[in-house]
C-alpha cells in the first residue's frame, strides 16, 4: 500500500456563483491557503494551487459565503 501522507495534489478550481460572494481556499497540511478563488454574480474565477493529503487521503479546503440566499 502506498503512503499518501503529505502528498501534494495539484488542483485547479473554477468557481461561479449566482447570488452573493463565495471564496474557496485550497489548504496545505498546516491549514494555510495555497490558492484562493473568489466569485461574485457574473464574475467566474479560476485558481490553481495544491492540496495536501493526510494519512487517510483526505485534503482540506475552506469555503466562505457572504450575502447569499438559501444556503444549506
C-alpha cell at 2: 502506498
Which pLDDT tens digit goes with each residue over 15-72?
Answer: 888 888 999 999 988 889 999 999 988 898 999 999 888 888 888 999 998 876 544 3
Q: Is 41 exposed, middle or buried (0-12, 13-18, 19+ CB in 10 A)?
A: exposed
Which pLDDT tens digit goes with each residue over 38-54?
Answer: 998 889 899 999 988 88
Amino acid at each position: 500500500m502506498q503512503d499518501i501522507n503529505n502528498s501534494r495534489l495539484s488542483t485547479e478550481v473554477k468557481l461561479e456563483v449566482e447570488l452573493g460572494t463565495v471564496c474557496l481556499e485550497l489548504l496545505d497540511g498546516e491549514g494555510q491557503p495555497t490558492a484562493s478563488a473568489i466569485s461574485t454574480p457574473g464574475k467566474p474565477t479560476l485558481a490553481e494551487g495544491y492540496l495536501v493529503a493526510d494519512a487517510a487521503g483526505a485534503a482540506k479546503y475552506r469555503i466562505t459565503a457572504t450575502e447569499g440566499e438559501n444556503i444549506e
